[in-house]
Structure 1
């Protein structure tokens, strides 16, 4: 088995974002005229794909109608440039369902496209004056013509943590919105004025009443569903006494390795999906593979 955080879905290799071109006047029309340019349609966290079982993004040649669409420069890929056509192409596949089936560089490209599409779609107005904003800097900024303010894409940091007790059992919990049988490690958003380690300790205490220590960073993963960066940690609980808050967390349990494997084998628990860092945190503790590859027809929890 490879190291659990090698080839983490959506986390690499780094995309050449061609940031040097963002300030070039008329760069999008120029790129539309270049023979090596390709366009990725993106709509409601969906992207077009081709093939199976080996799946790839369906990148297309520019069309005349692209000149009238909102386009974002994603970067360079395979010797050419790739643009995202925002809110276009409704028949795509949910990225969350196929991200782990795409080549790693295409998964990173799609994650960037989905994140930017979500941001542009939900931030059409200026937060200062309420006026309509317009796309600038090749899609990486929105500018307010009324007050000349500039607004950049938002990413919300969140912590996700594999918590173990003094007997090295793993904590899994069920969110209030999940069906019975769907459990995962704890996670939550970082609050203002808070370090990542402090967010881990606070979230664990709020959700299940535990005090933790030995908080250690493991890996991080872009999570554009809609706009997060998941930062993974391990932590050690001082005791095994659980007190789920009953609001966000309705069920929490400790598992030994044998108990977790048995729960997956009997169907008591759903296996974690390979697309999320949560699966890798569980596998690192377990010492082997437990997750299933994503089914393109289904979209599950984290």
Structure 2
């Protein structure tokens, strides 16, 4: 179990490892009922098709030459499909159309679950402050990678027969 939690956020008592729901979880020592389920965070990924090409972007915190799909966290109460369109609008300034689910992928390394969509972007690309640069790649030249959003790229390419 990977968690930095030591104390109950409700009563302040120590958290102890115990079996809950068939797994070892941190639970309140005082018995107030708090259990830290430590569920993975839902992350949205958008494979954006723009003018017949795929948008890959580099986050400002990433190394030079490292590009990926548009991603962001799902907001409370938000529909995942709408959230993917929101992320594309926020990060690229594009309106989303034809949004379709590619798939759902575990990303254990970051304790996340990725919900990936393909969408067609319309408008003028305007990067927000999170992104340093972007590239437009012809779909037939796009290559999947082995981690994170790469499996979604692989599945999208396979469906296209690329």
TM range (shorter): 0.7 to 0.9
Q: What is the Cα deviation at residue 226 of structure 1?
A: 3.1
Change (3 A) 1:218 1:255: same
2:75 to 185, 191, 207: 191
* SS of residue in 1 equivalent to 2:48: strand
* 4+ runs deviating over 3 angstroms: 285-288
Q: Which whole-Å CA distance do the structure 2 matches of 1:273 and 1:254 have between them?
A: 17
Change (3 A) 1:199 1:281: same
Q: Structure with the greater relative contact order (CA < 8 A, sep ≥ 6): 1 or 2? A: 2
Partner of 2:132: 250
**Runs of at least 5 residues in structure 1 that lack an aligned partner in the other structure:** 1-116, 262-270, 289-302
Change (3 A) 1:287 1:171: farther
Change (3 A) 1:178 1:272: farther
Contact 1:160–1:278 (8 Å) recurs in 2: no
Q: What is the Cα deviation at residue 238 of structure 1?
A: 1.9
Change (3 A) 1:147 1:122: same
Count of residues in Structure 1 that have an aligned counterpart in Structure 2? 157
Q: What is the Cα deviation at residue 275 of structure 1?
A: 2.8
* SS of residue in 1 equivalent to 2:110: coil
**Runs of at least 5 residues in structure 2 that lack an aligned partner in the other structure:** none
Which structure carries more helix by proportion? 1
Q: Which whole-Å CA distance do the structure 2 matches of 1:139 and 1:284 have between them?
A: 34
Q: Which has the larger radius of gyration?
A: 1
